[in-house]
Amino acid sequence: MPKVTFPRMGESWRTFKMLMNDLGNEVVIPPRPNKRTLDYGVRYAPEFACLPLKILMGTYVETCLEGAELIVTSGGSGPCRAGLYGQLHKKILNSIGFPVDIIVFEAPKSHPVDFLRKVNRLNTSRLSYRAIWECIKRGWEKLKYLDDAEKLTHVVRPRELEKGSTTRVYRRVLDWIDTAYTMKEIKEAGEAALEAIRSVPQDPGRNVLKVGIVGEIYVLLEPASNLEIEETLGNLGVEVRRSMFLTGWTRDNTVKETREILTVKDAAAPYIPLCIGGHGQESVGHTVIFAKEGYDGVIQLAPFTCIPEIVARTILNRVSRVHNIPVLTFFLDEQTGKAGMSTRLEAFVDLMRRKKGHAGNLRAQTEAG
Amino acid sequence: MTARVGIPSSLFYYVHFPMWQTFFSELGIEVVTSGQTTKGLLDEGVKEALADACVPIKLFFGHVIALKDKVDYLFIPRVVCLNRKTIYCPKFLGLPDMIRHGLSGMPPIIDVEMDNRQGWTSLWKSYLKIGRIFGRGKMKIFMAYLKARSVARRFHSLLLAGMHPPEAITALAKGANVPLPGEKKKGDLVFAVLGYPYEVHDQFISVGLVKKLKKMGVSVITMENLPPKKIARANMLEKKMFWTFSDLALNAAYYLFREGKVDGIIHLTAFGCGPDSMVDKLMELASRDYPDIPYMSVTIDEHTGDAGISTRLEAFLDMVKRKKEALQSTCPR
């Protein structure tokens, strides 16, 4: 049985673990990115590589030390660097003495044969295609509940009565979803998990700010890489809406583009008419939409030297002015510290509160006058 | 009064300027360039561009600012793909948008898309669109386009003959067939300087690296001097690089390593360049397989000092020379 591992992106590893096990592979669970991961990453990855490449490099080294023989990851058609990660990682890992192989899944739409060949290679226990399809469907269901649970915590956390209670409940219910196996179990566990998060004691009258988060997919989805920005914001009394979840992204990139992403592209069209790779265009489009929906601010997360996000950031200056919405950008790298980030977030939240209060006062004055 | 079109002397300037200039002058439009990079130009760019952008982009901002008040139009086409295979860095794709939304007080920007994956006439259609902006007739535009193509071909043959782009551009401007740079003396060292044309051939931002090497008695070849088809065949990756310039640079490195005709390879890269972070690592990994050819990577940014680069080049040259001598003195058995 080959020992398989994969990149870690938030809580999605629970799904991939199940899927790989079902196909008959032993799984080395990728550890949560930590200091050691980053140390390995910085040591072996190129100096100017973006943070996701470094974190993944570190994760692979850690899992290889635990005996992983095969890495499964996703590719891409560029022009973002992420499309070439797999090839580069393999070369680096081989050069430092890990004889691992790497399977890079390209979009099934454009490479259908290649996709099936790679599925077959992972299919150690020789399941039929129908059985694999069943496994994927269960995995998909699990992924959806994991995403929904996370989404719900973003709404509940700023309103919780006792600080930290949402996070505590969330950590607990993740295990419920994790241990569920059949379709029925997954649905039950998922619903129970959502109910548990919903029933965290809350203050419905609290005045919360609403902030949209846009940016590059990896630093959005992996809390360890963005220093748990959503939790920090939640504790500051800010409701967060993230522009991207793994389920949504997968839908847009495997089957066909959903309505949602098409409206985002339309919104971005006046500023940036074609796809520049990565999530540059989406970042701009989502910001426009957040502004139109009356959000109080937008936070852009990007890895240092991320090409598409640099283009987006340059354009967001204008978007911010035209649509009158504050935008704060974090370029994250291995040097980013949590205290520095918290300070900037606090200042940003104060700014938004004052802006909102000011607008409220004006309205009150005009109504009174 | 003829319209004036500004072409910033950066990025695509070193690859497409002769073609673009011919096209515009054939249409009776005056072309204005921003000229050589200067300290002031760079400073302006650094002030206006995003701090996290790479030096070439900051420099481009500088060139645009220098031009904006002198011209009626700025020519910043959105070049997506020109060889039907590889596209350009995301910053190139978003270049007109970055300029339009990142700077204020800009003249109208001509940002016609050039993407020849959309059919074999698509390039002509792009040029037709450009010509239409100035209200020229279809026939006239077509003749200008043909003339521009032939100039582009001549430019490329000059490059293949061993000229560097700035020399070739002046040679074409003079019209006469300028004699090629002198024959290589026997025993001269040959270094390959790989890197993007807008870094290698920009005298200011590369701190005159090519010139310095020539002064030290080294003849320099760059990736424009190598036959494109042979380079493309040298590719050793499972998956092609997405970016045209990076693909060229990396394949050139593979080609040179394999051919073994050069005495050293220098990779010139800009701080914060996204594609180069991968290219550089891949070159470094490849260089381990060919220990006979020394490899060095030089990173430049807006603070690069003249003395620092000189020291590194001298050290590299000394090392290459000593290695050669050592190889020659050990008696061939």
pLDDT of residue A183: 92
CB-defined contacts A:B, below 8 A:
122
Are the beta carbons of A37 and A6 closer than 8 angstroms?
A: no
Q: Map residue A83 onto helix, strand or coil.
A: helix
| Amino acid identity at A304 | F
Tokens 């949402």 belong to residue: A166
Neighbour-count burial for A305-338, b at 16+ CB within 10 Å, e otherwise: bbbbbbbbbbbbebbbeeeebbbbbbbbebebee
pLDDT score of B332 more than 70: no
Q: Do B101 and A271 touch (CB under 8 A)?
A: yes
* Closest residue to B89, CB basis, from A77, A95, A307: A307
Tell me how close the Cα of B178 comes to any Cα of chain A, in angstroms: 39
pLDDT score of A243 more than 70: yes
pLDDT of residue A173: 93
Question: What is the average per-residue pLDDT within A59-69?
Answer: 91
Chain B residues with CB-CB distance to A83 below 8 A: 239, 242
Tokens 């993230």 belong to residue: A242
pLDDT score of A351 more than 60: yes
Chain A residues with CB-CB distance to B282 below 8 A: 88, 91
In tens, the pLDDT along B124-153 reads 999 998 988 888 888 899 999 999 999 999
pLDDT of residue B187: 61
Chain B residues with CB-CB distance to A48 below 8 A: 271-274, 276-277, 280
* Closest residue to B273, CB basis, from A48, A312, A313: A48
Domains of chain B, earliest start first: 4-174 (3.40.50.11890), 189-329 (3.40.50.11900)
What does B293-314 look like in DSSP terms, one character per residue? Answer: S-EEEEEE-TT--HHHHHHHHH
In tens, the pLDDT along B2-46 reads 788 999 988 899 999 999 999 999 888 889 998 888 888 888 888
Query: Looking at chain B, which residue has its C-alpha nearest residue A305?
Result: B272
In tens, the pLDDT along A140-150 reads 999 999 999 99
Chain B residues with CB-CB distance to A47 below 8 A: 277
Contacts of A320 (CB under 8 A, 6+ apart): A287, A298, A326, A327
Tell me how close the Cα of B181 comes to any Cα of chain A, in angstroms: 37
For A56, counting Cβ atoms within 10 Å of its Cβ (0-12 exposed, 13-18 middle, 19+ buried), the class is buried
pLDDT of residue A80: 83
3-state secondary structure string across A244-261? CCHHHHHHHHHCCCCHHH
Beta sheet of B264-270, edge-to-edge order? B218-222, B189-194, B264-270, B295-300
What mean pLDDT, rounded, does chain A reach?
Answer: 88
Chain A residues with CB-CB distance to B275 below 8 A: 81, 307
Chain A residues with CB-CB distance to B49 below 8 A: 314
Domain residue extents for chain A:
3-127, 134-206, 208-369
Q: Alpha-carbon distance B47 to B246, whole Å?
A: 27
Q: Alpha-carbon distance A94 to A280, whole Å?
A: 32
pLDDT score of B333 more than 80: no
Q: Is A81 on the interface with B (CB under 8 A)?
A: yes
CATH architecture, domain defined by A3-127: 3-Layer(aba) Sandwich (3.40)
pLDDT of residue B181: 54
Q: Do A81 and B93 touch (CB under 8 A)?
A: no
Q: Alpha-carbon distance A140 to A145, whole Å?
A: 9
Q: What is the pTM of this model?
A: 0.87
Query: Looking at chain B, which residue has its C-alpha nearest residue A49?
Result: B277
Q: Alpha-carbon distance A236 to A208, whole Å?
A: 9
Q: Is A285 on the interface with B (CB under 8 A)?
A: no
Query: Looking at chain A, which residue has its C-alpha nearest residue B272?
Result: A305
Q: Do A48 and B50 touch (CB under 8 A)?
A: no
Chain A residues with CB-CB distance to B285 below 8 A: 91-92, 95
Question: What is the average per-residue pLDDT within A285-314?
Answer: 90
* Closest residue to A317, CB basis, from B101, B237, B277: B101
pLDDT score of B167 more than 90: no
Structural tokens at position A139: 């995995």
In tens, the pLDDT along A148-201 reads 999 999 999 999 999 889 999 999 999 999 999 999 999 999 999 999 999 999
Question: What is the average per-residue pLDDT within B282-298?
Answer: 89
Tell me how close the Cα of A153 comes to any Cα of chain B, in angstroms: 33
Are the beta carbons of A327 and A213 closer than 8 angstroms?
A: no
Structural tokens at position B304: 């690069």
pLDDT score of A22 more than 80: yes
For residue A38, give the nearest of A265, A333, A361, A283 by alpha carbon: A333
In 10 A of CB A67, how many CB atoms? 10
Are the beta carbons of B218 and B193 closer than 8 angstroms?
A: no
Q: What is the DSSP letter of A33?
A: P
Bridge partners for B191 per DSSP: B220, B264
Q: Alpha-carbon distance A309 to B93, whole Å?
A: 13
A247 or A183, greater pLDDT: A183
Question: What is the average per-residue pLDDT within B70-82?
Answer: 89
Structural tokens at position B6: 């500004």
CATH architecture, domain defined by A208-369: 3-Layer(aba) Sandwich (3.40)
pLDDT of residue B180: 57
Tell me how close the Cα of B161 comes to any Cα of chain A, in angstroms: 32
What does B69-108 look like in DSSP terms, one character per residue? Answer: TT-SEEE--EEEESSSS-B--HHHHTHHHHHHHHSSSPPP
Query: Looking at chain B, which residue has its C-alpha nearest residue A48?
Result: B277
Q: Alpha-carbon distance B233 to B248, whole Å?
A: 11
* Closest residue to A310, CB basis, from B91, B101, B277: B91
Q: Do B98 and A314 touch (CB under 8 A)?
A: yes
What mean pLDDT, rounded, does chain B reach?
Answer: 86
Q: Is A94 on the interface with B (CB under 8 A)?
A: no
Tell me how close the Cα of B89 comes to any Cα of chain A, in angstroms: 6
Question: What is the average per-residue pLDDT within B234-256?
Answer: 87
Chain B residues with CB-CB distance to A95 below 8 A: 285, 288
For B272, counting Cβ atoms within 10 Å of its Cβ (0-12 exposed, 13-18 middle, 19+ buried), the class is buried
Q: Do B113 and A80 touch (CB under 8 A)?
A: no
Chain A residues with CB-CB distance to B113 below 8 A: 274
Tokens 């991207």 belong to residue: A244
Q: Do B94 and A95 touch (CB under 8 A)?
A: no
